[in-house]
Amino acid sequence: MNAGRSLPSPVDVLPHRDPFLFVDELVDLHPGQSVVGRWTLRGDEWFFAGHFPGRPTLPGVLMLESLAQVGACGVLTEPRFAGRIPLLAGTDKVKFRRQVVPGDTLELTVELSRLGSRAGKGHGTAAVNDETACQADLLFVIADP
């Protein structure tokens, strides 16, 4: 963990804003290598009303997006990528293991395995109470603003 070191807020790193910001805080950060963030689902998020009425469930694609956003924090805090935009280019080996519902807090971990000047790769895991909810390999390109 980053003992004694202040971590940036996701809004200070990412270009995303409400209602499409799916990371509340960063809890561990090693620029260009790995990052851990959290997203707490309050239940009043816009997507729960329709997914599914009477049984609100976080859409899997938004779990993937939250992992991509956390990974982007790991990329954008690497000085050589400051001011650029990491775009999700693909996913591989995606597995959904459990439902995520209002009140859950997702612990989002991304390990960046390859980071070139124009593209990169990482592996992400979203968990609730140490139980894996989603895991995926993430592919991204790094664009100019």
User: So which residues are the catalytic ones?
Assistant: 51
Over residues 68-96, the pLDDT tens digits come to 999 999 999 999 999 999 999 999 999 99
Over residues 47-62, the pLDDT tens digits come to 999 999 999 999 999 9
Paired tokens of 35 = 């990052």
CATH number of 10-143: 3.10.129.10
Indicate whether 34 pLDDT > 90. yes
> What are the extents of the domains in the chain?
10-143
Strands across the sheet containing 119-128: 25-30, 34-40, 105-115, 119-128, 131-143, 85-96
Residue with tokens 């990052």: 35
Does an H or E element contain 13, and which? helix 10-13
